[in-house]
C-alpha cells in the first residue's frame, strides 16, 4: 500500500465531500417536506390521491435506487424532460427518500393522540393550524430517530449518483484512482471519509433534534 | 445495426435476471452463515468480542455498499487472488448482508426475557445448548419479518454489482439501452422485473409483521 498521492488529492476529496453534503442537505429538506405532504395526503386526501401515494411508495420501495436514477436521467429525456446530472440526482434522491419517510412520518402522525386535535379545534384553531402547530411537531419528535437513520442511509446510497457523473465523493474517488493507479488505497481513504461523514451526520442530527424538537434521541 | 424487438429486450432482461436471483440467493445464504458467526461474537459474554462485532457491524452500516464492493474488487487482487466480478460481488454482498442480519437477529436475542436464559441454565444446559435449543429458535422466529425485509433490500442492492462489472440485470440493461436507445422502455422494464421479484416478499414481510403484532 502506498499513500504518497494523498496530500495532492486532499482538495479533490474535500470538494467531493462538500458536494455529497450539499446533495444530502437538499434531499433531506425536500424529502422531509414531500413526505409530510404525502403522509397527510395519504390520511386525509381524496381516495384517488391516497391510492396514488400508496402505489408511489410501493414502486419506489421495491425497485433499486440505481434503476430509479437511470430511469430519471436517461429515460425522462425521451418524454422531453431533460435534467442536468445534479438535478436528476437530487430528484431521484428526494423521490427515493420520501417513499421511505412517508411511512415514517405517517407512523408519527398516527402516534399523536386524537385528543390533541380535538383540544386544538376546541380552542378555535383552524384544521391547518392544528396540523402544523399541534400534530406535526409532536409527530416529528416521535419519529426523529427513524428519520435520522433514513437520512444517513440516503447519504450512503448517494454514492451511486457518481454513475451519472455528478462530481461528488465517489466520482472524485473514481477520477483519483484512474490517475494514481492506487485503486484500493483510494477507495479505502474515501470509505473512511464516508464513515466519518455518516458518524458526524448522525451526531449532528441527534444534537440538532434534541435542541429544536426536544426529541429524546439517543 | 442489430434490430431489437420488444420481445428480444424482454427475453434478454429475463435471462439476465437469473443472475440477479442467483446472486441474491448466494449473498443471502452466505450472509446468513457469516452473520451467525458475527451474532455469536455480538452476544458473547466477553466484552472485547462484543465490541469487535459492534465495530464490524458499524463499519458495514456506516459506509456505502458501493465502496465495500470496490474494496473487494480492488483489494483481493492485492492479496494475490485472481478475482472476477462474480466473486467480488458475492463476497461483497455476503459481508454486507452478514452485518445487517447479525444486527437484526441480535435485536431478537435482546428482546427475549432474561428468564429464558435462566430457565435454560436451571435445566443444566450448556451455553451453546441454550443458544441452539432455546434462544436462537425464538430469536429467529420473532425477527422473521425484518429478515425477509432485508432480503428485499439485498435483492435491490445487487444492482450495484453492475458497477464493478457483474453481468446482472442492470448491466445487461445498460448494454441493451446502448444498442436500442430506448432508455424509457428498457429501464422501465428493469424496474418492473425488480418490482415483480420484490413486491411479493414485501407483502410477505408485512403479513409476518401483522401476525407477530397480533400475538
Which pLDDT value is given to residue B78? 87
CATH classification of the domain holding B76: 1.10.3720.10
What is the model's pLDDT at position A218? 45
Residue A209's pLDDT is what? Answer: 85
Measured distance CA(B52)–CA(A95) in Å, rounded: 36
User: What whole-number distance in Å separates Cα of residue A164 and Cα of residue A170?
Assistant: 11
- Which pLDDT does position A215 carry in this prediction? 56
| pLDDT for residue A216 | 54
Which residues have C-beta within 8 Å of that of residue B55, sequence separation ≥ 6? none
Task: State the alpha helices, DSSP H only, in A62-182.
Answer: 65-70, 85-111, 114-122, 127-129, 136-157, 169-180
Tell whether the model's pLDDT for residue B81 goes beyond 90.
Answer: no
Establish if B210 belongs to a structural domain: yes
Domains of chain A: 6-213 (1.10.3720.10)
**Site from A54, A60, A75, A103 to mutate, B interface, most B CB atoms within 10 angstroms:** A75
E strand or H helix that includes residue A81:
none
- Domain assignment present for B163: yes
| Mean pLDDT across chain B | 94
- Give the count of domains, chain B: 1
Specify the pTM: 0.93
- The C-alpha of A117 sits at a distance from chain B's nearest C-alpha, in angstroms, of 27
**Spatial distance between the Cα atoms of A134 and A127, rounded to a whole number of angstroms:** 10
CA atoms within 13 A on the CB side of A179: 13
Q: Do A74 and B187 touch (CB under 8 A)?
A: yes
> What percentage of residues in chain B have a pLDDT greater than 90?
90
Residue B1 belongs to a domain: no
Which run of H or of E encompasses B42? helix B6-42
Q: How far apart are CA A174 and CA A187, in angstroms?
A: 8
B88: its cell numbers: 467480488
Tell me the residues of chain B between 90 and 149 that have a Cβ less than 8 Å away from chain A: none
Nearest to A40 by CA among A106, A117, A114: A106
Does A160 sit within 8 Å of B66, measured CB to CB?
A: yes
Q: What is the pLDDT of residue A8?
A: 86
Tell me if A193 sits within 8 A of A19, measured CB to CB: no
In this complex, is the C-beta atom of B56 within 8 Å of any C-beta atom belonging to chain A? no
Distance, CA of B148 to CA of B142 (rounded, Å): 12
B49 assigned to some structural domain: yes
Condensed to tens digits (0 to 9), the pLDDT of residues B103-112 reads 999 999 999 9
Q: Which three cell numbers stand for residue B40?
A: 455469536
Cβ contacts from A onto B, under 8 A: 114
Domain that holds residue B121: 6-214
Q: Which residues of A touch B66 (CB under 8 A)?
A: 159-160, 162, 170
Q: Is residue B68 part of a domain?
A: yes
Q: Low-confidence residues of chain A, pLDDT below 70?
A: 215-218
Run of H or E including B165: none
Question: Residue B1: what pLDDT?
Answer: 56
Report the C-alpha gap between A35 and A56 in whole angstroms. Answer: 12
Taking the CA of residue B120 and the nearest CA in chain A, the distance in Å comes to 33
- At B214 the pLDDT is 81
Give the nearest chain B residue to A157 (CA atoms): B64
Averaged pLDDT, B39-50? 96
Domain membership flag for residue B148: yes
CA distance linking residue B102 with residue B34, whole number of Å: 8
User: In the numeric block, which cell numbers belong to residue B128?
Assistant: 451453546
Q: What pLDDT score was predicted for residue A121?
A: 93
Question: In terms of Cα–Cα distance, which of B215, B92, B100 is closest to B147?
Answer: B100
Amino acid at each position: 500500500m502506498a499513500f504518497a498521492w494523498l496530500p495532492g488529492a486532499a482538495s479533490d476529496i474535500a470538494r467531493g465531500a462538500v458536494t455529497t453534503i450539499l446533495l444530502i442537505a437538499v434531499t433531506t429538506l425536500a424529502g422531509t417536506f414531500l413526505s409530510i405532504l404525502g403522509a397527510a395526503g395519504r390520511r386525509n386526501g381524496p381516495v384517488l390521491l391516497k391510492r396514488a401515494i400508496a402505489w408511489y411508495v410501493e414502486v419506489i420501495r421495491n425497485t433499486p435506487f440505481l434503476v430509479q436514477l437511470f430511469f430519471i436521467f436517461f429515460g425522462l429525456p425521451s418524454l422531453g424532460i431533460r435534467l442536468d446530472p445534479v438535478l436528476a440526482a437530487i430528484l431521484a434522491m428526494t423521490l427515493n427518500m420520501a417513499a421511505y419517510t412517508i411511512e415514517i412520518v405517517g407512523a408519527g402522525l398516527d402516534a399523536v393522540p386524537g385528543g390533541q386535535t380535538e383540544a386544538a379545534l376546541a380552542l378555535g384553531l383552524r384544521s391547518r393550524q392544528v396540523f402544523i402547530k399541534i400534530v406535526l411537531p409532536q409527530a416529528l419528535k416521535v419519529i426523529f430517530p427513524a428519520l435520522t437513520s433514513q437520512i444517513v442511509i440516503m447519504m450512503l446510497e448517494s454514492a451511486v449518483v457518481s454513475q451519472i457523473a455528478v462530481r461528488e465523493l465517489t466520482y472524485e474517488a473514481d477520477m483519483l484512482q484512474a490517475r494514481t493507479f492506487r485503486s484500493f488505497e483510494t477507495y479505502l481513504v474515501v470509505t473512511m471519509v464516508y464513515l466519518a461523514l455518516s458518524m458526524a451526520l448522525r451526531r449532528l442530527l441527534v444534537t440538532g433534534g434534541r435542541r429544536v424538537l426536544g426529541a429524546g434521541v439517543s | 445495426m442489430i434490430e431489437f424487438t420488444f420481445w428480444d429486450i424482454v427475453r434478454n432482461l429475463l435471462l439476465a435476471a437469473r443472475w440477479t436471483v442467483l446472486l441474491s440467493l448466494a449473498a443471502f445464504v452466505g450472509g446468513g452463515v457469516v452473520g451467525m458467526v458475527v451474532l455469536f461474537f455480538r452476544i458473547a459474554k466477553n466484552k472485547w468480542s462484543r465490541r469487535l462485532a459492534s465495530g464490524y457491524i458499524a463499519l458495514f452500516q456506516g459506509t456505502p455498499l458501493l465502496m465495500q464492493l470496490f474494496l473487494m474488487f480492488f483489494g483481493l487482487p492485492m492479496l494475490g487472488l485472481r478475482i472476477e466480478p462474480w466473486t467480488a460481488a458475492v463476497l461483497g454482498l455476503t459481508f454486507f448482508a452478514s452485518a445487517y442480519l447479525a444486527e437484526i437477529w441480535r435485536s431478537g436475542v435482546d428482546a427475549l426475557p432474561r428468564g429464558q436464559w435462566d430457565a435454560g441454565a436451571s435445566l443444566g444446559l450448556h451455553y451453546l445448548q441454550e443458544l441452539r435449543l432455546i434462544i436462537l429458535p425464538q430469536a429467529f422466529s420473532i425477527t422473521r419479518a425484518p429478515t425477509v425485509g432485508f432480503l428485499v433490500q439485498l435483492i435491490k442492492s445487487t444492482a450495484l454489482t453492475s458497477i464493478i462489472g457483474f453481468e446482472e440485470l442492470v448491466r445487461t440493461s445498460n448494454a441493451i439501452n446502448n444498442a436500442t436507445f430506448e432508455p424509457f422502455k428498457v429501464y422501465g422494464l428493469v424496474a418492473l422485473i425488480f418490482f415483480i421479484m420484490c413486491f411479493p416478499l414485501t407483502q410477505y414481510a408485512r403479513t409476518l409483521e401483522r401476525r407477530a403484532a397480533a400475538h
